[in-house]
Amino acid sequence: MMLALFIVPLFYIFLFFPALAQNSRHDQRPTQRQLQADIERREALKFRNTSMKPATTSSEPLTKRDGTKYVFMHHIVGSIYPYVYNDWLNDVKQISAMGVDAVALNIGSDVWQWDRVVDAYNAAAASGTGLKMFISFDYTSFVCDNGYATTNWTNYFAKYSAQFTVNSKPMISTYGGGYDCLGVDNWKAVKANTNGYLMPFFWDSENTFKTDWAFLDSWYCWGCAWPQGDWDKNTTDDQYYIQQLGAGRYATTVSGWFFTHLSSKNFYLRGDDWLLINRWDELFQLRDQLTFVEMVTWNDYGESDYFGPFEGAQPAGTYWAQNYPHTAWISLSQYYISAYKTGAYPTITQDVVYWWSRPHPALATATSDSLGRPTGYNWADDYLWAAAFCTSTCTVTLTLGSSTQTFSNLPYGVNKLKLPLAVGTVGIKMVKGSTTVINASPTGFSVVATPSQYNYNVFVGAETASIAVTGTSSTSTSTMTSTSTSVTATSTSTSFTSVGCVAEGTTGTRRALTSANYTDSAMTPAKCQSFCASYTYAGTEYSSQCYCGNTITNNGATGAVVASSNCNSKCGGDSSQSCGGSYYLNLYSKSVSSSSSTKVTSTSTSTSSSASSTSSSFSSVGCIAEGTTGTRRALTGANYTDSAMTPAKCQSFCASYTYAGTEYSTQCYCGNSLTNNGATGTIVASSNCNDKCGGDSSQTCGGSYYLNLYSKSGISSSSSTSSSTSTTTTTTKSTSTTSTSASASSTPSSTSFSYVGCVAEGTTGTRRALTGASYTDSAMTPAKCETLCAGYTYAGTEYSTQCYCGNTITNNGATGSVVASSNCNYKCAGDSSQACGGSYYLSLYSKASSNSPVTTSTSSTATSTSTASAASSTSTSTSFSAVGCVAEGTTGSRYALTGANYRDSAMTTEKCQSLCAGYTYAGTEYSSECFCGNTVTNNGATGSVVDSSNCNYKCAGNSAESCGGSWYLNLYKQ
């Protein structure tokens, strides 16, 4: 009988899960030769292209010890083709805030996935969150060879500081790849050649974990997140594998839901009876036998087991994830992650009701669904599920259409509730004593009796109790005087003096200077000093890097001067000067010592119809919770991250907005309304905002999804143009400066564009009709897109959050013809009253005069997330003419053009020429690469034109154009 208990769950795992990943992941398998060529090319690029260079070359090792628990998040890289660096940065911050330790990056064989993984590792390192990354090779798509590709990927990314390691060994995980792929001997070779820590998921491995697979460090059970039949989830399968693997080697999974509805796989796994909560409670009970738990997944929309917001690219043929958010489960899971990792459930400090429901009864009959009901449909129970987190005794009323029930006198803690399903909308109410603290009627979801298509996914929401923020009075004119003492930020580079060669630290990120930093292939000491003008120290490193800070002894650095021979890297912009070395800084210091400060007496007078330019016009509101849906951001204007964040810095940055908010020690958010993404704008207990400011530990800068909020005292939410006059007297030794400035409107006019209509994307290549710049913004609006596309003839919004720019509209098979407006039915993410295209349909805008490009000045706050791209998009490419196909060099890095360089998955000839506007030459190569320079005979290159057949790679962003070849440039000169 005991054997039968084990066989049934395992049977279902093997029945469902070998095919589970195949639909939503990719099956393009390169040849061994292609893999080798690609790896060699990337190895060469990493020494030149800073976007490919690891943030550091060492990782702070995790030392596995008894009792320490780790939580991972599984992330499907195959679902995020449109991702850019900032998308990864947003994911990293959200996932880290949950308490997750590392992200398992599920990769297939698509060549574009390499760049996404590079961005992921770099974003994790730059975020300052401490979140790590590791590769999870999905062998339903990734190459099954002798382990060569697996070894090379592992060894390459092991160099990155964001690599998750166990006892200094890089973590290696998989989905599949056991007997049916690499096999035992090849996995032994992978382990030996990477010094890796192996934690795969192999099927068909039962009864061999102590024989064939005895060398595995761990093994995790993918299918153990869900019940494999019509029963509640239990720990029978966990106990079975613990027995199989022995103490300390078993890892497992947790998920909230599972449903997929395709011709290749059409089934539902039972998520009823509070699966997510019960599974976490089970893991809490098993924690003495576990080390690693993996959350499945962040973004597998095709299988409905996602925690993150709807982003990236939904697998073809699916429809059931969009408009069915699961993000409320993020904060719910944060509670249980803390419990699992610490061994104690945390104190509940916020009254909140989480709820989730399917959109139709299990036995409903769809009117237009050819696939029929999914296998397992009759396992589903027709209830709305809820969990009331009560800080003290409370009464909760749940309503769904005609179904309603009141649960009286619920005690402190987590109270699991359910309500029979009925047709209609949801209502949530919580009463404490005689006070109603929640009275919500969530929008965007309702239950129907007869759907057009089957959907056994759930809509997840959260309703939070709070006290409404009272608005401050508004006046059109304000006069304010402030006096402060601070270090002046007006220093020129001449105030720096050379200290010498100084070693970086030995712990953490190893960075001695932990404030601002940037990379420039034409770096010089003067450039770095100018960039670091507002800091005490500036340091150049590794030819092209610049670091700033006010202290030099961070991360184990001593600040001691070492032999100058360690700083032997020539500056990228001036080979006659040294710019540090590998983990050594050429350090420069202000003439004023780091222990003293320069007194600044500032008097500011502002008369404005909108926003004052000084932070003194802000007043503290209190601690405010972020939202529960979408990106969860209450403030959706500009945002930035600074390791030396202070309230004053944030307020200054948000000067043209009504609200400024600090969060998570280093983050700053701006906006004109604070009730976005489900946020209520209500003040909560100040204990939620307990993170010390990165730049001033005496002040608090929010918490995890809590803002320290500041509001203008006399500003309306509809700001227009502001002007300010500022007089600053700076006293150092004998310097006095006076400055007067006028600031431009924070909302640049988009009147130079006019609406064309709804236009279809193309049918070939990348399908992009507009092949210039492109952006993704979770608060996209037509005005924002038009501003971003100021240097182009056309601007187009698409898929709620995307913006595309270009000077022609007929690329990749697009006709430019206007189609029915019903095709552009996606609401703008930043303004639901406007439409932002559809799926492969653009809401298109055109300049009133298309004969010449229009350049529009935009504020830094409006484009802070895309400064690099926006800066380059204002240059036209008409001054370049084609030279021909030119070979790269034969020595050194082999690059003929050694100025700036870029990689873009939508590269075109025009885009490269625009990026290289400040150089004599522009060259495209390898479909997606762009190189700039003033000479073309570097590294052994001759600059001679060769046969055009060598430049036979189609441009990634326009298949009608050629973008070089492998070590051949399509060269242009101006």
Distance CA 640, CA 653 (A): 9
Handedness of CA 127, 531, 778, 467 (dihedral sign): positive
Residue 307 predicted with pLDDT over 50:
yes
Q: Phi/psi at 265 (nearest 5 deg)? A: -160, 120
Question: pLDDT tens, 908-940?
Answer: 898 888 878 888 999 999 888 888 889 998 888
Relative to beta strand 102-107, strand 132-138 is parallel
Task: Identify the pLDDT of residue 93.
Answer: 94
Helix axes 236-245, 2-20, angle to 10 degrees: 90
Residue 826 predicted with pLDDT over 90:
no
Ranked by mean pLDDT, which of 218-222, 772-776, 880-884 comes out on top? Answer: 218-222
Distance CA 77, CA 299 (A): 9
Within 8 A by CB and 6+ apart from 746, the residues are 610, 611, 656, 657, 719, 722, 859, 861, 862
Q: Phi/psi at 439 (nearest 5 deg)? A: -150, 85
- Structural element, H or E, at residue 917: none
Peptide linkage before 297 cis (omega within 30 of 0): yes
Residue 202 predicted with pLDDT over 90:
yes
Cα angle for residues 546, 549, 550 (degrees, 5° grid):
155
Distance CA 718, CA 393 (A): 42
What confidence category does residue 185 fall into, taking pLDDT thresholds of 50, 70 and 90?
Answer: very high
Both tokens of 564, joined, read 């100058």
Both tokens of 720, joined, read 């227009």
Q: In the 3-class helix/strand/coil scheme, how is 877-904 assigned residue by residue?
A: CCCCEEEEEEECCCCCCCCCCCCCEEEC
DSSP string, 5-74: HHHHHHHHHHHHHHHHTTTTS------HHHHHHHHHHHHHHTTT-GGGS-S-S----B---TT--EEEEE
Q: What percent of the chain has pLDDT over 70?
A: 78
Ranked by mean pLDDT, which of 249-258, 655-664, 832-841, 881-890 comes out on top? Answer: 249-258
Question: pLDDT tens, 261-297?
Answer: 998 899 999 999 999 999 999 999 899 899 999 999 9
Both tokens of 408, joined, read 């009286």
Q: How far is CA 226 from CA 130, 340, 506, 516, 798, in A?
A: 30, 19, 43, 45, 36
Distance CA 299, CA 221 (A): 19
Q: Phi/psi at 871 (nearest 5 deg)? A: -60, -35
Instruction: Name the one residue in this structure whose structure tokens are 């070590």.
Output: 967
DSSP, collapsed to helix, strand or coil, labels residue 616 as helix
Return the DSSP state at 380.
Answer: -
Report whether 780 contacts 676 (CB < 8 A): no
Q: pLDDT: is 743 or 835 the higher one?
A: 835
Distance CA 697, CA 95 (A): 24
Q: pLDDT: is 489 or 355 the higher one?
A: 355
Distance CA 21, CA 4 (A): 27
What confidence category does residue 751 fall into, taking pLDDT thresholds of 50, 70 and 90?
Answer: very low
Q: 254: which strand partners?
A: 295
Say how many C-beta atoms besides its own lie within 10 A of residue 18's C-beta. 15
Both tokens of 811, joined, read 């690329």
Report whether 508 contacts 555 (CB < 8 A): yes
Report whether 476 contacts 504 (CB < 8 A): no
User: Where in 808-860 does DSSP place strands (E)?
Assistant: 818-819, 827-828, 831-835, 841-847
Task: Identify the pLDDT of residue 613.
Answer: 30
Report whether 27 contacts 108 (CB < 8 A): yes
Average pLDDT of the residues in 889-905 = 78
Task: Identify the pLDDT of residue 723.
Answer: 30
Residue 61 predicted with pLDDT over 70:
no
Report whether 805 contacts 873 (CB < 8 A): yes
- Characterize 707-717 residue by residue with b for buried, 16 or more Cβ atoms within 10 angstroms of its Cβ, and e for exposed: bbbbbbeebee
Average pLDDT of the residues in 30-57 = 34
Q: How far is CA 597 from the centre of its chain?
A: 37
Average pLDDT of the residues in 35-41 = 37
Report whether 246 contacts 291 (CB < 8 A): no
Report whether 619 contacts 472 (CB < 8 A): yes
Task: Report which of 239, 246, 269, 273 is spatially closest to residue 257, judged by C-alpha positions.
Answer: 269
What confidence category does residue 775 fall into, taking pLDDT thresholds of 50, 70 and 90?
Answer: low
Q: pLDDT: is 953 or 118 the higher one?
A: 118
What confidence category does residue 612 fall into, taking pLDDT thresholds of 50, 70 and 90?
Answer: very low
Task: Identify the pLDDT of residue 601.
Answer: 28
Give the mean pLDDT of the chain: 78
Question: pLDDT tens, 416-438?
Answer: 999 999 999 999 999 999 999 99
Residue 124 predicted with pLDDT over 50:
yes
Both tokens of 817, joined, read 């013809």
Both tokens of 513, joined, read 């200077």
Question: pLDDT tens, 399-418?
Answer: 999 999 999 999 999 999 99
DSSP string, 558-605: ---EE-GGG--PEETTEEEEE--BTTEEEEEEESS-TT---EEEEEEE
Both tokens of 600, joined, read 């600044």
Report whether 659 contacts 639 (CB < 8 A): no
Task: Report which of 888, 872, 893 is spatially closest to residue 925, judged by C-alpha positions.
Answer: 888
Structure pTM?
0.49
DSSP, collapsed to helix, strand or coil, labels residue 799 as coil
Report whether 284 contacts 277 (CB < 8 A): no
What confidence category does residue 649 fall into, taking pLDDT thresholds of 50, 70 and 90?
Answer: confident
